[in-house]
Chains A and B, each alone.
Chain A
Amino acid sequence: MLRNGGEAYWRRKANAVVERRAEPGSLYDAVALESVRKGVKQWEERVFGGQAKKGPESRSDFQTASGIPLKPLYTPSDVMDADYSDQGYPGVFPYLRGVHPTMYRGKTWTMRMFSGFGTPEDTNKRLKLLLDHGETGLSIAFDMPTLYGYDCDHERAHGEVGRCGVNVSSLKDMEVIFGGIPLDKISTSMTINAPATVLTCMYAGVANRQGVPMERLRGTVQADMLKEYIAQKEWVYPPEAHLRLVRDLMVFCTKKMPLWNYISISGYHIREAGSSAVQELAFTLADGFGYVELGMEAGLKPEQFAPRLSFFFNSTMEFFEEIAKLRAARKIWATVLRERYGVKDPRSLLMRFHTQTSGASLAWQQPLNNIIRTTIEGLAAVLGGTQSLHTNSFDEAWALPTEKAVQVALRTQQVIAEETGVPSVIDPLGGSYYVEWLTEQMEEEAYKYFDKIESAGGLLKAIKSGYMQREIAENSYRLSRRVEEGKDNVVGVNKYAIEEKKPIDTLKIDFKAQTSQVKRLERVKKERNEAKVQAALAKIGRAFENEDANSIEPMLKAVLEYATLGEIVQVGREIFGTWREPVIL
């Protein structure tokens, strides 16, 4: 999947799903099925058809957001292949019904709100507020200069410091962000990709200052570079160089930070960039298989690293498709890891994932409606069996969220957890004719896409030729046109629109962050031992130049000497070069 195309496995799997669906499974009796088929036909002609003739239906076409055509009704005849063995039980292969034996009866999902803005001091305050409100895991957003590997005093950082996340230029900033927050008591997710190795070292650096051993650190860095080229577009180096750094991180953490989730394989951004649920599922899993191959190439056994791979999905407004996508994802992951990569240890087959409601689904018009959208999306994530959840704030189509809006967003998932009864039963939609049919549909479509990626020469070649990028852009334009043409409606946007003047107050971030960050950086550079920093940077350079070396250990040393993020990333720019995206227009 990763490097060489042409593998026939995926086409066989796609065909197997098609064949399976054509044959009645053991759960259905042939005579009973025939009677259902007859019944459905009669209902369609006489009851439904009779009514439908009286007036047009409410829409010109009924289909999912992925474009899968929908029938008015699903019955046993649509899931006749059901042979319960391929659904199984929670905590049992293929995990379609959930990865944990007790799911939310044992423990509800982790409520993990993504936050970060302005200075490290601002973010430290917001994190403590969230912990006080009952949040159970931290999740840090970084600003654009940090994400692209520039220090706050770089000319490219001008005007961008602290604008849409917190700025981190050196270990000093991380020490402030986590001031008064004991790292052995919490788990932290950091949304960082291109410089994920540096930020992992900085987190370990803070632990070092707090006296917490590295082995005990729990948390996640995103570090999913494949999806950066596909969707989020926050890269520094060419794909091969970034993959090599991911490999270094995998190898280092396997030995030294065994509880650290060093790749969060992300469909979120693929969906936000405009993909369909099917594309999100297929491209994300393909990336996941790519990382499995990367780890195996580095000489690790899948059992050593697969338990540390986690996933990150989007939940947007196509309610049932979101649920079906999440169910199918677990099944495909476990099946392929077992069949194709020879994984036996059950812990390594579990797809654990975080879900975030969709930012792109939020409208700037009538923004309070976004609370409702987030509620529905959050519920879909829970019904899909998520391990943790971020719910967006209603004001995010306008700006970064205010404290009040964040509180409403957190309360949204607390209401789902505490008041609805939804967590009482595991995978409560399992067995719905429609949901099971749609789950199989997702499975089939995903395997077809894997095959297309193989035909495009494998993942790396497909990325370089812009195959996935083009698929996403085309889908995104299709969705926009559908809204434009009134085929799809967005309440308050192309239907029920009203005139509003400044509907809400938004968070204001002043430009002080840049000034104070630059000052702190100047101080850090003055106080550090320059000779030691330069020597440490040179060692990183030597590690980068030697494909067989591991660059994390020297990076950790440099971070502890207060070498800056920008300096470390720049060493790589000089050795690996930078990247220019393929043309996909």
Chain B
Amino acid sequence: MPGKVFKPAKAHAVRLGKRTVSAERKIRVLVAKPGLDGHDRGAFVLARALRDAGMEVIYSGLLPSPEQVAEMALDEDVDVVALSLLNGAHMTAFPRVKKLLEKMGGGDIVVVGGGIIPEDDKPKLLKIGITGLYGPGSSLEEIVGHIKGRVRKERWGE
């Protein structure tokens, strides 16, 4: 059963749907681009793919600051924050979102990332728990699997 995609109530005011109440537990994901980066193709494809995989997807809209992304994640009570940047700012913006989440009480939220991420940057991001780090052309199935795997293990204790 496909999920839904909508924007968060704060920062970007339009909301496209209500939170689904269902017996089946759904993964809630915030897809976000925390920086000055208009390359939203990957984020849109990912949002649709996660929706079709049955998740509830919230999209941050463009140009939120890391602070706004962390706030949205907590306000929307998400399981996962999926970060996307293709502007080379991932080494500052990604860790900042992670740190802010921890500081604001969302340290247990799964953080994954993707975009144009040079190989040499990956170990540092993985070390602080930002995983995935998929580049353009990655398999959607693989990304979905990665997110499901982490959520089930870390959030649902399966």
A399 to B118, CA, bound (A): 6
Nearest CB on B from A97, distance (A): 34
Nearest CB on A from B124, distance (A): 13
A-B contact count (CB 8 A): 111
Q: Do B44 and A580 touch (CB < 8 A)?
A: no
Instruction: Report if B136 contacts A (CB, 8 A).
Output: yes
Per-residue CB contact flags for chain B residues 108-123 toward chain A (1 = under 8 Å, else 0) read: 0000000010111000
Q: Do A144 and B45 touch (CB < 8 A)?
A: no
Q: Do A148 and B36 touch (CB < 8 A)?
A: yes
Q: Pick the contact of A233: B5, B38, B49, B137 (CB < 8 A).
A: B38
A551 to B35, CA, bound (A): 29
Q: Do A506 and B120 touch (CB < 8 A)?
A: yes
Given contacts A273-B40, A274-B41, 5 further A-B contacts (CB under 8 A): A147-B36, A164-B87, A400-B88, A484-B140, A580-B12
Instruction: Report if B22 contacts A (CB, 8 A).
Output: no
A160 to B92, CA, bound (A): 8
Interface residues of B: mostly helix, strand, loop or mixed?
A: loop
A148 to B6, CA, bound (A): 26
How many of A's residues come within 8 Å of B, CB to CB? 46
A362 to B12, CA, bound (A): 32
Q: Pick the contact of B89: A150, A159, A480 (CB < 8 A).
A: A159
Instruction: Report if A360 contacts B (CB, 8 A).
Output: yes
Determine the chain A residues whose CB is within 8 A of the CB of B63 once the complex forms.
Answer: 148
Q: Do A476 and B36 touch (CB < 8 A)?
A: no
Q: Do B89 and A144 touch (CB < 8 A)?
A: yes
With contacts A232-B38, A274-B41, A585-B44 taken as known, whether A144 is within 8 angstroms of B7 at the C-beta atoms is: no
Instruction: Report if A51 contacts B (CB, 8 A).
Output: no
With contacts A156-B65, A583-B14 taken as known, whether A144 is within 8 angstroms of B137 at the C-beta atoms is: no
Q: Do B65 and A362 touch (CB < 8 A)?
A: no
Q: Which of A340-372 contact B (CB under 8 A)?
A: 360, 362-365
A483 to B136, CA, bound (A): 12
Instruction: Report if A493 contacts B (CB, 8 A).
Output: yes
A398 to B140, CA, bound (A): 19
Q: Do B14 and A509 touch (CB < 8 A)?
A: no
Determine the chain A residues whose CB is within 8 A of the CB of B36 once the complex forms.
Answer: 144-145, 147-148, 150, 156-157, 160
A-B contact pairs, 9 of them (CB 8 A): A144-B37, A160-B35, A228-B38, A399-B116, A476-B41, A580-B13, A581-B61, A585-B7, A585-B57
Q: Which of B39-75 contact A (CB under 8 A)?
A: 39-41, 44-45, 47-49, 57, 59, 61-63, 65
Nearest CB on A from B121, distance (A): 9
Determine the chain B residues whose CB is within 8 A of the CB of A581 once the complex forms.
Answer: 61-62
Of all chain B residues, which has the CB nearest A150?
B36
A579 to B89, CA, bound (A): 23
Per-residue CB contact flags for chain B residues 75-118 toward chain A (1 = under 8 Å, else 0) read: 00000000000011101110010000000000000000000101
Determine the chain B residues whose CB is within 8 A of the CB of A160 once the complex forms.
Answer: 35-36, 87-89, 92
Nearest CB on A from B28, distance (A): 15
Q: Do B89 and A364 touch (CB < 8 A)?
A: no
Of all chain B residues, which has the CB nearest A479?
B45
Determine the chain B residues whose CB is within 8 A of the CB of A506 once the complex forms.
Answer: 118-120
Determine the chain B residues whose CB is within 8 A of the CB of A150 once the complex forms.
Answer: 36
Instruction: Report if A473 contacts B (CB, 8 A).
Output: yes
A326 to B55, CA, bound (A): 41
Instruction: Report if B158 contacts A (CB, 8 A).
Output: no
Q: Which of A179-224 contact B (CB under 8 A)?
A: none
Determine the chain A residues whose CB is within 8 A of the CB of B44 once the complex forms.
Answer: 274, 473, 476-477, 585
Per-residue CB contact flags for chain A residues 270-283 toward chain B (1 = under 8 Å, else 0) read: 00111000000000
Instruction: Report if A54 contacts B (CB, 8 A).
Output: no
Determine the chain B residues whose CB is within 8 A of the CB of A148 once the complex forms.
Answer: 36, 63
Of all chain A residues, which has the CB nearest B31?
A585
Instruction: Report if A4 contacts B (CB, 8 A).
Output: no
Determine the chain A residues whose CB is within 8 A of the CB of B140 once the complex forms.
Answer: 480-481, 484
Instruction: Report if B9 contacts A (CB, 8 A).
Output: no
Q: Which of A137-193 contact B (CB under 8 A)?
A: 144-145, 147-148, 150, 156-160, 163-164
Q: Do A508 and B120 touch (CB < 8 A)?
A: yes
Q: Which of A493-518 contact B (CB under 8 A)?
A: 493-494, 502, 506, 508-509
Instruction: Report if A33 contacts B (CB, 8 A).
Output: no
Of all chain A residues, which has the CB nearest B121?
A399
Instruction: Report if A318 contacts B (CB, 8 A).
Output: no
Determine the chain A residues whose CB is within 8 A of the CB of B132 once the complex forms.
Answer: none
Instruction: Report if A567 contacts B (CB, 8 A).
Output: no
Of all chain B residues, which has the CB nearest A231?
B38
Of all chain A residues, which has the CB nearest B35?
A160
Q: Pick the contact of A583: B7, B37, B40 (CB < 8 A).
A: B7
Q: Do B6 and A585 touch (CB < 8 A)?
A: yes
Q: Pick the contact of A163: B38, B41, B47, B88 (CB < 8 A).
A: B88
Nearest CB on B from A394, distance (A): 14
A5 to B120, CA, bound (A): 51
With contacts A233-B40, A398-B119, A585-B5 taken as known, whether A363 is within 8 angstroms of B59 at the C-beta atoms is: no
Q: Do A363 and B137 touch (CB < 8 A)?
A: yes
Determine the chain A residues whose CB is within 8 A of the CB of B92 once the complex forms.
Answer: 158-160
